Amino acid sequence: MSLTPIPVPPIGFGLYLIAADRTYECVMNALRAGYRHFDSASFYKNEAQAGNAFEAWLRSDPENNKRDDLFIVGKVWTTEIVAGASAVRASFEKSLSDLKIGFFDMFMIHWPVPGHHTGAYLALVDKVGTETRALGVSNYSAADYDELVAGLEEGMPRPACCQMEVSPYMWRATLVDFFKNKGMQVVGYKPPPQGL
């Protein structure tokens, strides 16, 4: 199987802070409402429940509900990043299994842990095109990005996306422009201020 990267859909449904016992219902409701981009992470502790919802949705109408209609993002957490390559790869595989989706559309390094995030990224490079369409980064600064790409060999896939907090109160125009100028998509989390 060869997976070609595709653009990140403009609106996504984040699984952060959804209690595990509510995740199935929330994801099913989001799917019914038309969401197709879902943001998950091992740290959220609800991927298995989200996976049950994806599986049920895909089976409920196989003629119209297709895996390629979904855009699923996963992320590896800091404890695995610090633990090293084998822990990063194990986290990737567990998330993929729990989500029951066959492949990721994007898989990210959740935080740029100093001294470890480049190694974590390198541990996932061989997943690109087989088990994930692309790799991305989350919560990176320009310096973090520069440190990461300095550790990549020529021809290795570069991050396709940077996910970071962006809102009217935290606009970060300089950082957004930095990543756009690197040819990356910028995905904002918490775009509307909380409480609206």
Asked whether 102 and 136 are in contact (CB, 8 A), the reply is no
Identify which of 68, 28, 19, 32 has the alpha carbon closest to the alpha carbon of residue 51: 28
d(Cα 114, Cα 82) in Å, to the nearest integer?
A: 9
Q: Any catalytic annotation for residue 44?
A: yes
Burial class (CB in 10 A: 0-12, 13-18, 19+), 104: buried
In the 8-state DSSP scheme, what is residue 177?
H
Q: Which residue among the candidates 24, 44, 121, 145 is catalytic per the annotation?
A: 44
Sequence-distant (6+) residues with CB within 8 A of 72 are 38, 40, 54, 99, 101, 104, 105, 106
As a whole number of Å, the CA-based R_g of the chain is 16
Residue type (1 letter), 58: L
Joined tokens for residue 94: 């567990």
- Spatial strand order in the sheet of 37-39: 13-14, 37-39, 71-76, 106-109, 135-138, 161-165, 185-189
Residues known to be catalytic: 44
